[in-house]
Homo-oligomer: A and B are copies of this chain.
Amino acid sequence: MRRFWINGFALAEKLGLGKRINMIMQAAFFKLSGILPVQEAYGYLKEEVIKNYGSQGEKVINMNFAAIEQAENSIHKVDTSGLSREYKKVKKITDNKTRENTPAFVARILEPMNRQRGDNLPVSTFAGMEDGTFPTGTTCYEKRGIALYVPEWDPDKCLHCNLCSVSCPHSVLRPLLLTGKQAEEAPESIRLRLRPDKGYPGRYYYMGISPLDCTGCGNCIDVCPAKGKALRKVPLQESGDTLLWNYCESIETEKLPEGKESVKTSQFLRPYFEFSGACAGCGETPYARLITQLFGDRMMISNSAGCATVWGGSAPSVPYTKDKKGRGPAWGFSLFEDNAEYGLGMYLGYSTVRKELREKLMLLHEKLKAEGECSEELEKAWLDWEQGFYQGEKSREKTECLIKELEICKKGIFSAEIREILARKDYLVKRSNWIFGGDGWAYDIGYGGLDHVVSTGADINIMVFDTEVYSNTGGQASKSTPRAAIAKFAAAGKNNRKKELGMMIMNYENVYVAQIALGADPVQALKAIREAESYPGPSLIIGYAPCVNHGLKEGMGKSWHQQKKAVQAGYWNLYRYNPERIKEGANPFLLDSGKPSSGFREFLMSEVRFASLMKKDPVLAETLFTEAEEEAAKRYERMKKLSDLS
């Protein structure tokens, strides 16, 4: 067997093609495979270039022609007689991870499947997993190492704002806030880079990075507000962080003082979602990560078909993960259309069991009292738990106290009853029920169910990752696709408006509704997510999510920044409709984004989905762009009026 290598990325970058190596790799394939006479094959490739990229102009055509022509000079034969030092170093780390501490599932199922050998697994491998349940927390064993460049942290420039971590679609950046004791015990290479944190005196700040899980999108660097940037890109093989990640992963930031629920603080919480297979720069996954950071240890998630299923649970690995206590989200997916109903079923199932337990506890309490066996501590723990029955935030703590007291008296006269309750202790905590899905689900295919579930008044939270298009199936228009965007089934530019999902659902008046854009205003987004979760009824959050289907001209490394542009241009509005405010006699609707500055047209032109219409049909584009801009202005005015109502 002969082996060759080609640094396609280096050539692509040299030619101005960015990371687009498809033509280079095809040319290399034809050069080496001998399937066709090489020049004939190149001819066909060039025809394809004209067919596919012709509409993007001569420059693009020429770059691709050059790629085809220059590929062959970049091909080198591989000498495998010796493996490089770098390769050995990386291999050692991944081997440590996968050999020594590897769960049986990973060794026996995940790795063979990832090696494309899943078909060879005998049925007996799956004994005990007949219901199809796969363990969570397994993406951390994959260590794909697909980034060309990864971020490297400069502790001296860093402002400790954690924006990089908020923006990371793959949970690769993990800010740590070590206690003095943890700091002392840290390895020297970490200790040297620890810096005291101004916000939390006595704590030391460190930015953990997992280079082998990074996709290299670069948003973290882009969003860094520090002078001269506290993150810079380095080639993957030059990153020192690979060796340090095991340590960072093993450390959890200890509980911080209460009352500081800022964006920064949220990032010291463990993400229960990491290293998914989402595209580099994905606009969806940061929402999922943030939500799990806040509620992950008591979450149940129902998911529709779509990208969120693919990055959320494509076999064999699952990015939703567990903490050291084994707690983390339960995640399930049924069909595209029944996501909301499936989530309602999860909610009803758990609620019914929990209410049964509550009755059993009440009865137990009466019996214990009658026998004079109810300790003061148990009495208090039970009352606390009762009072906080619907309080999600405090529920874990109160439940732990109750369990502790129940354990104490479980050997007493009501041993059987107490053991029965403790056998289902996982149900004592108030769960955080979530329904995740994309716009194809929420606006179209699952809308009937979404509407029905919110009408029930159930305490369920719905998160819509709004890419304004069916992303996962290749870019078909949904009812969320905005006017003037080009998409499949709207190839001539969509000529009707985006559906006002949030406004429609607000008509129920008892549903919490928010429209957010994490990249544009993380403070508002965090506020909305917290309010939605604590609202004792249905909640709907619609989050703007830039996507590879949008064709950002600056690339997906700017997907975070693009959200800011969308909001500033008035293309996307931020608001929160909180029914709790009605009770206080206040206007439930708050418009959180200010008057759009100019730049609507510029925003459209910064994305291929719009800009290509201008190339294809300038007259139509002019009409649709103008309509879209007018529509956006009217929408803002309408929201402003709604917001100003007393």
Nearest to A457 among chain B residues (CB) is: B496
Do the beta carbons of A507 and B496 come within 8 Å of each other?
no
State which of B444, B497, B510 has its C-beta within 8 Å of the C-beta of A508: B497
| A444, A451, A499, most chain B CB atoms within 10 A | A451
Whether A496 contacts B510 in the complex (CB less than 8 A), given A448-B449, A452-B444, comes out as yes
With a cutoff of 8 Å between Cβ atoms, the chain B residues found around residue A496 in the complex are 455, 457, 510
Q: With the chains together, A496 CA to B457 CA distance in Å?
A: 8
A residues 487-520 near B (Cβ < 8 Å) are 496-497, 499-500, 503-504, 507-510
Q: With the chains together, A452 CA to B507 CA distance in Å?
A: 18
State which of B445, B504, B510 has its C-beta within 8 Å of the C-beta of A504: B504
Do the beta carbons of A499 and B447 come within 8 Å of each other?
no
Do the beta carbons of B479 and A497 come within 8 Å of each other?
no
Nearest to A500 among chain B residues (CB) is: B507
Q: With the chains together, A445 CA to B455 CA distance in Å?
A: 13
With a cutoff of 8 Å between Cβ atoms, the chain B residues found around residue A509 in the complex are 497
A residues 554-591 near B (Cβ < 8 Å) are none
With a cutoff of 8 Å between Cβ atoms, the chain B residues found around residue A451 in the complex are 447-448, 479, 499
With a cutoff of 8 Å between Cβ atoms, the chain B residues found around residue A444 in the complex are 448, 452
CB distance from A444 to the nearest CB of B (A): 7
Nearest to A635 among chain B residues (CB) is: B509
Do the beta carbons of A503 and B510 come within 8 Å of each other?
no
Whether A479 contacts B507 in the complex (CB less than 8 A), given A447-B448, A448-B449, comes out as no
CB distance from A242 to the nearest CB of B (A): 48
Do the beta carbons of B510 and A455 come within 8 Å of each other?
no
CB distance from A424 to the nearest CB of B (A): 28
Nearest to A537 among chain B residues (CB) is: B496
Q: With the chains together, A449 CA to B337 CA distance in Å?
A: 12
Q: With the chains together, A497 CA to B444 CA distance in Å?
A: 24
With a cutoff of 8 Å between Cβ atoms, the chain B residues found around residue A445 in the complex are 448
Q: With the chains together, A448 CA to B340 CA distance in Å?
A: 13
Q: Which 7 A/B pairs are nearest by Cβ-Cβ distance? A: A448-B448, A500-B507, A504-B504, A447-B448, A504-B507, A503-B507, A455-B479
6 pairs of residues in contact across A and B, judged by CB atoms under 8 Å = A445-B448, A448-B451, A451-B479, A452-B479, A455-B479, A499-B508
